[in-house]
Amino acid sequence: MSVLTNIIAFIVALGLLVTVHEFGHFWVARRLGVKVLRFSVGFGRVIWRRQGADGTEYALSAIPLGGYVKMLDEREEDVPEHERHRAFNRKPLWVRNAILFAGPGFNFLFAVVAYWAMFVIGTTELKPVLGDIAPESAAAAAGLERGDRIRAVAGEPTATWDDVLMQLLSEGPGNRALALTVETPEGREQERFLDVASIGAFGEEPDVLGALGIRPWRPEVEPVIAELMPDGPAARAGLAAGDEIIAVDDQPVGQWRALVEYVRARPGEEVAFTVRRDGGERRLEAVLESVAGPDGPIGRLGVSPRFDRSALEGMQQTVQYGPLAAVAEATGATWEAGVVTLKMLVRMVTGEASVKNLSGPINIAQYAGQSAELGVVPFLRFLAIVSISLGILNLLPVPVLDGGHLLFNGIEWVRGRPLSEAAQVAGQQIGLLLLGLLMALAFYNDIARLIGPSG
């Protein structure tokens, strides 16, 4: 995956979602009688403009990371007497609140539309069947075994691994006995209790399932090469289709998964491969590529395995709904993702979840690029999650955000008059400071992930 792909996907995603947010403010303001002076897609220097009805200027600006809406407001400029009734500051509280909430509201609506499209198109998911269970882990202590299928978490049905992960994130932190309903390979339903309170599964370790000792089921694949990436490390080293990799740096390899784990942990390193070919053994050395992974650089050899696809197909299921049924499913998915996001924010504040969960633009760009390369459905899922996060973030009661302005309006409603201009300016400065600190922490997390645990 190239850095250029990440950048393009990030610009498209963020530009689209912030524009949707600002269009929400624009659309509701127009319908509630507030004059909109400018609706801009992008920031900075205006490179194209057109005058629309009612004097609204529609503009395209040079920096394609979002947009903004400028409304008529006496606090920002002189307003002619005949237009003062259309100024934002002259409108009653309920109108101002509706306009402020419309931005996040359109983000939530966009998420519903994205999920709806995803469910109508359909997606192929792995059934939540357990693979290997790590010894002495929380999963092992709970009695979970390879082949068990997770039917429900905390009483909520789980059809896919995404469902399992959502429920773990929603119900897990602080819960020493999270109930899991599992179906054994023999078809018996049993209840297990998973302790997720004493481990760093919710931020200290970004791989929640791995921190619990759970591996999703994967087919047992022998370390035999089926295809090579053209001009990749394996091809340059002389490896060939049909080679069986029997050792890496003189360490025996039994399954393809072990080979993948060894390679991923060594980005940029030279590794020796012992292969069996035509009845004999050869030793070949390859310098692994270093590529961006979700939590830092990973190694890549540039090979794919040979395996029995029928076993994988038996563990897959298609999640797809008709257009009407998809509306309810999309609304439910948006609600669940929003609840999980809000819970995680609260837990970061209270210390139940690590602030390492916080991602900045670098990490978001990586996820944007990965999801875009995987196809339309994964990219739609990514857009929905980020849109929900953007909506919730903007509703936080922090001055300079929509939620901060809603807070000021709430204080005005209680007092019967607005806060003084000096108090609002002070609040805005505090809000900017808080956002600056938040962004600094997010950038720190991103850089820490890029560097990796070894530093």
Provide DSSP, 81-99: GGGGGGSGGGS-HHHHHHH
Determine the pLDDT at residue 201: 43
| Beta pairing partners, 10 | none
Indicate if 225-307 has the same CATH topology as 124-216+308-319: yes
Determine the pLDDT at residue 79: 86
Q: Give 10-residue mean pLDDT values along the chain (455 residues).
A: 75 88 95 93 88 88 84 88 91 95 96 96 88 87 91 89 84 74 91 74 61 83 89 92 92 88 92 92 92 79 82 77 95 92 80 66 75 86 93 90 91 88 85 83 71 51
> How would CATH label the architecture of 225-307?
Roll (2.30)
Closest of 200, 213, 158 to residue 180, by C-alpha = 158
Determine the pLDDT at residue 353: 64
Determine the pLDDT at residue 406: 93
Closest of 392, 394, 294, 398 to residue 341, by C-alpha = 392
What's the topology of domain 124-216+308-319?
A: Pdz3 Domain (2.30.42)
Give the number of other CB atoms < 10 A from CB of residue 3: 11
Structural domain spans, the chain = 124-216+308-319, 225-307
Q: Would you name the residues annotated as active-site residues?
A: 22
User: Which pTM was predicted?
Assistant: 0.78
Determine the pLDDT at residue 354: 64
Residues written for the chain: 455
Rounded Cα distance between 306 and 218, Å, is 14
